[in-house]
Amino acid sequence: MMLQQIVNILNQAEQIVAALTDVELPEWKRRQQLACIGGPVDTSLDHLEEWFTAVADVLIQVNQELQKLQDQSKKYNSPDASSFPGETENFTLSLLTKLLANALVVEKQPVMSSLPQRPLILKTGVRFTAAVRFLANLPEFKCRVKVKPVFDKDVEETTAVHGLRHFAFNRDNSKVLDVDRPDGGLVAEFAHMSLKESKTRPRGSCESRLGVTEELHVIKFVTELQFAGLSCNIEASSLPVVVISSTSQIPSAWASVMWCNMLSTSEPRNLSLFVDPPPLTWQQLSQVLSWQFLSVGQRGLDEDQLSMLRDKIVDFSTDNPDGIIHWDKFSKNESVWIWIDGILDLIKRHLVDLWQDGYIMGFVSRKTTWDLLKEKPTGTFLIRFSESSKEGAVTFSFVEHSNGENNVHAVEPYTKKDLLAQSLPDSIDSYRMKEDLTRNPLLYLYPDIHRDTAFGRYYSTEKAPITGYVTRRRVQVADYPTPPPSPPPVRMDIDPDAEQVIQELFHDIYDSCGSPVWLTSYQDTPLTQYF
């Protein structure tokens, strides 16, 4: 009777173990992949840890009961009953082995403290951290699990891909799973890992045809668990990492991380992905690009912004009717990604609040800017990113109606250096035209938000004046962008002698050609900032 109950329990346990290891855990790993590249997904392990722990506890108790039954069978010399408990015990141990072999997971993927929003990029000689968790959180396993990280363990690509760089850890990083954490979990955090490159290449190797930022590596965390007669070799692998030697390689490395994690969705990971990189669809790429802005500025891209990027990135030619994006076009040769990455850095450093508020339209072409502003009241403006600056710059365009004509003016872009000297809200607030320093031509943020309503809370607070001094303020002054209409010629009857007297009295205000300065026509000059 007891054996039948045990069999029923094991049948249920088999289904649960299969669901946990073959469905739930891979789905969590996929969510973690997406979270690493900015996806807003839940990566909590509480649910999985609860189930792994409960099932492991049941299987251990079943195994103990089966051992008791076997002992009783041996004690009473019952040959008919001795084989069945033994077979059931083997089945129990196989389920427990499968469960424990999958119980070690990389909870925190390798990340440098200087790049918290861009994990999986490691720089030689720079410390990075990672953490593993053992999901079967039972007292029986405390102080029993010692984990060691190994770089590129059993990776075929290290020999299959010619010229691939080789790395090793600078020190032994083995750790026993911590049992004193506030959450009570079995966790090991490796906080002081760093890599060094092996300068000796294998015999016969040559320079890799892969770029440095296209090489993919992994860190495996290995341990051996011995418990109740059970010996289990356990491994957990990190997601593919990119190892760089210079911070200038970060943008290209992050492009590789994004591309890899959108395409490599199952284990084992394809570490030779960039030998022949598959393309992405616009649906895939647009999603991950939006996540970058969500991660940096707490606001993703809307359909209009994505539409402008699609027109810039995707080539809908006869050879590419589906609009797929190839790796080389996205990432190499002054690619569009470098431009986008510069904008992300600009937002992170100077524009987070404005981006989060939705006040920056950002990705809007010049033609669309004209279409949006031409019918708006004079002084309506919008903020967009410069298309010409690879380092990331922001500008604003405003509309002016004069003499029945619609003029949309684009201001010289503000770079990171400019915004370091004065914030964008202050620059907008203090913006003036040289022809009228008393009036700010920027009145309404598109579509109809008053300038001060949008940016007032971000204006710098006026400092108290120093005794004896008059306070001063930085003002943005620009040349008038378009020439005003020429006045009609006026003929005046004037005595030649009188004109000569006037020239003698007011010669300083006549130019070298004899024309009064106040009648000199305006020049069509670009807007310029004066400090």
| Per-residue pLDDT at 468 | 57
pTM of the model: 0.82
| Per-residue pLDDT at 332 | 80
Same domain, 40 and 116: no
Burial 431-459, CB ≥16 within 10 A → b, else e: bbbeeeeeebbbbbbbeeeebeebbeebe
**pLDDT tens-digit map of 467-483:** 655 555 565 555 555 44
**pLDDT tens-digit map of 105-138:** 999 999 999 999 999 999 999 999 999 999 999 9
Same domain, 125 and 235: yes
Same domain, 138 and 235: yes
Neighbours of 240 (CB within 10 A): 21
Nearest-angstrom CA–CA distance, 12 and 6: 10
Whether 319 maps to a domain, the answer reads no
Say if residue 196's pLDDT is above 60: yes
Same domain, 41 and 132: no
Total domains, the chain: 3
Mean pLDDT of the chain: 84
* Residue 440 contacts residue 485 (beta carbons within 8 Å): no
Same domain, 194 and 97: no
CATH number at residue 24: 1.20.1050.20
Whether 394 maps to a domain, the answer reads yes
Report for 83-87, 164-168, 201-205, 450-454: range of highest mean pLDDT: 450-454
Same domain, 173 and 213: yes
Q: How confident is the model at residue 494 (pLDDT cuts 50, 70, 90)?
A: very low
* Residue 88 contacts residue 10 (beta carbons within 8 Å): yes
CATH number at residue 426: 3.30.505.10
Task: Give the residue from 203, 220, 250 where a domain finishes.
Answer: 250
| Per-residue pLDDT at 527 | 42
CATH number at residue 213: 2.60.40.630
Same domain, 1 and 15: yes
Whether 17 maps to a domain, the answer reads yes
Same domain, 157 and 213: yes
**pLDDT tens-digit map of 29-41:** 999 999 999 999 9
Burial 172-205, CB ≥16 within 10 A → b, else e: ebebebeeeeeeebbbbbbeebbbeeeeeeeeee
CA angle 63, 64, 67 (to 5 degrees): 85
Identify the domain containing residue 447 by its residue range. 356-478
Task: Give the residue from 225, 250, 275 where a domain finishes.
Answer: 250
Considering only 279-288, 373-382, 449-458, 485-494, which range has the smallest mean pLDDT?
A: 485-494
Whether 401 maps to a domain, the answer reads yes
Whether 174 maps to a domain, the answer reads yes
* Residue range 11-28: mean pLDDT, rounded: 96
Whether 308 maps to a domain, the answer reads no
| Per-residue pLDDT at 519 | 31
Same domain, 194 and 228: yes
Task: Give the residue from 229, 250, 271 where a domain finishes.
Answer: 250
Residue listed under structure tokens 């994505």: 306
Whether 437 maps to a domain, the answer reads yes
Same domain, 78 and 118: no
| Per-residue pLDDT at 517 | 38
